[in-house]
Amino acid sequence: MPAERAAVATGAPRWSSLGALLLSLAGLVVSAYLTVEHYTASTTLACPNVGVVNCQKVTTSPESQFLGLPVALLGLLYFAAMVAITVPAMWRTPSLAVRRTRIGLSLLGVAFVVYLIYVELFVVDAICLWCTAVHVLTFALFTVVTLGEAANPSGRG
């Protein structure tokens, strides 16, 4: 029994695996909504369309595509990958490749979000509240993944 407790104590904190999974699922839901909105050209975005806060302007701008793909779809794919790599079983995998992938993907997400925030503020000149939700979720996910991995020197969840 003491050996089991020691293994658990050196693993990733439970809050990190659960928190990362919940943040990934929330991002998946918001990104799915934005992807549906993109492909249906719907105007049901529950977001003011006046002044600086204008979801319609952001989601229909030329910058709402990256390398020919809708940014919303890229977000959906990103969060789907993060869900897959943040399920508790993946946190318990001692594989260095899995850990590096989890950290690398979360870092890539933050880097892309920084780019998107720049585009919203200085190119499109509008902010989308739904996009901001995705940005916050991405930063929070990066934080939880990084702290969880830092607290997990053994590589086991």
Confidence of residue 156 (pLDDT cuts 50, 70, 90): low
* 111 or 49: which leads in pLDDT: 111
Domains and CATH numbers, the chain: 11-150 (1.20.1440.130)
In whole angstroms, give the CA distance from residue 84 to residue 65. Answer: 25
Q: What is the pTM of this model?
A: 0.86
3 pLDDT more than 70: no
Q: Is 157 within 8 Å of 17 (Cβ atoms)?
A: yes
Q: Which H/E stretch holds residue 49?
A: strand 49-50
21-41 pLDDT, tens digit per residue, is 999 999 999 999 999 988 887
Confidence of residue 51 (pLDDT cuts 50, 70, 90): confident
- pLDDT of the residue at 1: 40
